[in-house]
Each structure stands twice: as C-alpha cells, then as structure tokens.
Structure 1
Amino acid sequence: MGPAATADFYGKLVEETPATGDQSHVPVVIWADPRVPDRSLSLLGLGEDPTPQLQRGVRALKRAGCEVLVVPCNTAHAFVPRLADEAGLELVSIVEVTADALASAGVTTAGLLATSGTLHSGLYADALRERDIAAVKPSDGEQRQVSAAIAAVKSGTVTAGHRTALAEVARSLAERGAERVVAACTEIVLALDSRRVPVPVLDPARLLARKVAAVSLAGGSTRIAGATRP
C-alpha cells in the first residue's frame, strides 16, 4: 500500500494530538510493508488474497506491544476487522469514524471517491446505509479516472490532468446530490484540490487521526497505537 499515504497519516496524527511536548504524543509503531497484494484487485476477484500478509503485519504489531490497531487504508478494512479480533487488538475503523462524522453533520447523501474494490465491497455504502445516508458513486468512466489518479499517487507521477479529473468527478457527485464528498482512499487527498469542489470534502485519514489521538490518550500515556500500512 502507499508509503506517501502512510507518511501523510502519521503527520496528521501528530497534528491532531493535543500535546505539550514529545512526551505527551501518542507512542506509535508503524508497520509499512508494500509487498501486500493489491486489496482492490482481490476484492474484484482479479488478484491474490492479501489476508496472510496483512495478518503477518497485525501479529507483528501485537508482539511489539500495540493495543490499538489503525489501518489508514480504506480498502484493507474489508479484511482487517477479523484479523484485529483474532489478535486481541482494538481496531479504530476509518470507515466507521467517517460514517459517524457524516451522520453527526446531518448529511443525508454523500459522494464516494474510492478504489474499485472499496466500492465493490460495499464497505462505505453499508456503513452509510446503517445511518440512513445515501451513497453516490462515480460512473464507470469516472471510476477509471479515479483509479488512474490513485495509481499515480502510488507511483509518484501525479499530473495536473489527474488533479483536474478528480475534481471533475467530485463535482459530478455534488451535482447528483452529494452534500459531502468522501475521499475514501488515503491517496485521494494527495491528488484532489478540495477548493475546486463545490461541497465540503471529508478526509477520512484526518478524521481517523483525530479519533486515534482521543482513544489512545484516553487509555493513558503508556498506551500504544499501531498504524499498519502494509
């Protein structure tokens, strides 16, 4: 998964922690293993199951003393809840945190920018439906543009064309009734200019960082948050 999104998430965790110095920040162990098979392709039935490699990372974090599992990859949430339960780790779900934020804001319709695998799995659609929020998804053609932008972030080759295409897709979601656009892939925020979108853009990584800081600090200064971004 994406090293750039990993670095972005950790920076946001630091920013969202109400610390007065080094010692009051959240202790973190980061497991970053980009060898994990593509989660989206697996969910679409086109690739290898990433579960064994994800399980390896979760177990490593458990051995390192982590108590809270954080996975700043939306698509991986189709696999990790069971692995967190097996390891005895508390999972702070990026999907649930984001869905809760939308519900708290009184949103009734949200647009989704995500990997094809995330959309196919229904991760967000199901979580939103439980909160009486309708999900608006890109068309097939628009989704190809979203996928291209995500791939460009992962390869470090984002162009102005990718940024423009993402903004156009986000505007299309707003035109179809989305009151918020959810950047439901942690690479999206690294390529999308939210100023070009007519409705607020939610950054799940930012929401997750805020929640992790609150959960971890509530558990005491010795509590460790494990951020796995394989």
Structure 2
Amino acid sequence: MLGVLGGMGPMATVDFMGKVVQNTPAACDQDHIQVVVCMAANIPDRTAAILGEGTDPFPAMRATVRWLETAGATCIAIPCNTAHHWHAALQAETSVRILHIVDAVADTLAGQGGCIGVLATSGTVKAGIYQKRLALRGFSCRTPDAAGQAEVMRAIRLVKAGQLAEATTILRAQAEAMVAAGCRQVVMACTEIPVALATVNGALRSVLVDATEALACACVEACTTGAADPALPLAV
C-alpha cells in the first residue's frame, strides 16, 4: 500500500494523486493500488527552514511517516521536492521505503548527461537537492539567476493562493529562459509548478519534465511489482 506524506501543498498533493491514478494500468476499481494519504498541511514551510527563517519541519514529517507506517504503508511518497532535503533523515526513521523524487526524475530524463534546467523553490536550490543527486547520474543543472529565482518563488506562492493565470505566465517565461540558456530539458521541480504549467503546449511542452508525474509513475511501479524494499542510501 502506498503512503503519501501530503499537504505540501494540498493542491500539489491532489495533482499527485490524480497522476497516480492516471498512470495505473487498470480496467476496474480493484486494479488500482491501495493508497493512504495524510494531508499534513500543518508541516512548517520547508524553504523557510532551509534558509534559516522558519521552524524545523522534520519532527512533523517524522510523525506523519510513523502514522503512515502504522496505517499499513509498504512504501511512501512525498509529493514535495523541497521536503526531500530531509529524505535521508526520514528514511533512517523507518524500514518502509521512501521513494526519492529526484531518482524518479533521473529515470525519465532522455539520453545521458547534459545540462538540465531546474525550476524549484529557493530551498530546493540552496540545498542542492537536484544538483547533487543528478550529478551522480551524469547531469549538470542550471537554475535561474537571482531575479529569475525570485519570480519563480512568487509564482509558487501564487499557485498556493489559487492564482494560476499569473503563475502560468511567470513560470512559462522562466522555463523559456532556461531553454534559451542551453538546457535541453527543464524539470518542474516544485509540485506547484506542474499545476501552473498544465495547459502549456507546443515546443515548450516537449522539454518540460514533470517531477510529480515521475514520482507517481515510480510509486505505481513499486506498488505493482512489489519493489518496496528500502533502497541503498546514496552519499548525498
């Protein structure tokens, strides 16, 4: 059974759950995987904590992981990229496998190596969550400059507030800037970003990588093949 440590944010968790269902090969209700979701919207802001401006979210995430374990989860997903800063610490607290969103993304990237654009929260960028883990797979990462990163953060806050139209405009411009800078693919590395860019079509759509969907597909595979044993930790 899949356990979902959700609520970071709530709309992103709903988007993730939709993608789990859409990517499950099923002809009837009973073909779908069992899922238990904790919409833990009370978890303190992850980016604020990484930047030294907020409360440590780890105790609340740890409590939720334990709740999911007690509920019967055999693997756990966290549909929040920034929360993966605490992935190793959380995995150390449980024998239940916690899938890593960056590993799921790496498995979907076309070809080998090259420069990948990363649109993410400032916390994800500062913590090097993508830079460190993708480097192990032969990829380099490019992130926006300071002004661009500020715009990405503004757009993420707009999504959380339900103001999608303005967020879409901002994030599309930032993704196009990544492509113009030489990135062959651009990862939507905050679970709010795919919500805002869901309607983008054309050439830009072909280079966007949806981290939420990558994690959803990895969860379906883990739950349908029984691959729920804890993975060996990477030194990142």
Instruction: State the TM-score, normalized to the length of structure 1.
Output: 0.90
Aligned to 1:51: 58
Which of 111, 122, 133 aligns to 1:127? It is 133
Aligned partners of 1:72 and 1:186 also within 8 Å: yes
Aligned to 1:16: 23
Q: Which has the higher contact order (CA 8 A, sep 6+)?
A: 1
The offset of 1:43, in angstroms, is 0.7
In 1, Cα distance between the equivalents of 2:167 and 2:13? 21
2:85 aligned with 1:114: no
In 1, Cα distance between the equivalents of 2:95 and 2:62? 12
In 1, Cα distance between the equivalents of 2:108 and 2:131? 15
In 1, Cα distance between the equivalents of 2:177 and 2:112? 21
Aligned to 1:83: 90
Partner amino acid, structure 2, of 1:172: A
2:63 aligned with 1:62: no
> Which is further off, 114-123 or 75-84?
75-84
Deviations 1:104-147 (A, max 9, x none): 53351110000000000001001111122111100111111110
- Report 1:1-230 matches (<5 A): 1-102=8-109, 104-159=110-165, 161-192=166-197, 193-195=199-201, 198=204, 200-219=207-226
Secondary structure in structure 1 of the residue aligned to 2:44? coil
In 2, Cα distance between the equivalents of 1:9 and 1:113? 18
Aligned partners of 2:115 and 2:182 also within 8 Å: yes
Secondary structure in structure 2 of the residue aligned to 1:79? helix
Long gaps (5+) in structure 1: 224-230
Secondary structure in structure 1 of the residue aligned to 2:164? coil
Partner amino acid, structure 1, of 2:140: A
Residues matched between the structures, number: 219
In 2, Cα distance between the equivalents of 1:44 and 1:14? 35
Change (3 A) 1:214 1:34: same
Deviations 1:202-225 (A, max 9, x none): 0011111111111101129xx8xx
The offset of 1:195, in angstroms, is 2.4
Partner amino acid, structure 1, of 2:114: T
Aligned partners of 2:87 and 2:100 also within 8 Å: no
Aligned partners of 1:107 and 1:179 also within 8 Å: no
Runs of 4+ in 1 over 4 A off after TM superposition: none
Instruction: State the TM-score, normalized to the length of structure 2.
Output: 0.88
Partner amino acid, structure 1, of 2:185: R
Alpha-carbon RMSD across the aligned residues, in angstroms, is 1.6
Secondary structure in structure 1 of the residue aligned to 2:159? helix
Aligned partners of 1:170 and 1:197 also within 8 Å: no
The offset of 1:82, in angstroms, is 2.1
Aligned partners of 1:194 and 1:201 also within 8 Å: no
In 1, Cα distance between the equivalents of 2:191 and 2:22? 17
Long gaps (5+) in structure 2: 1-7, 229-236
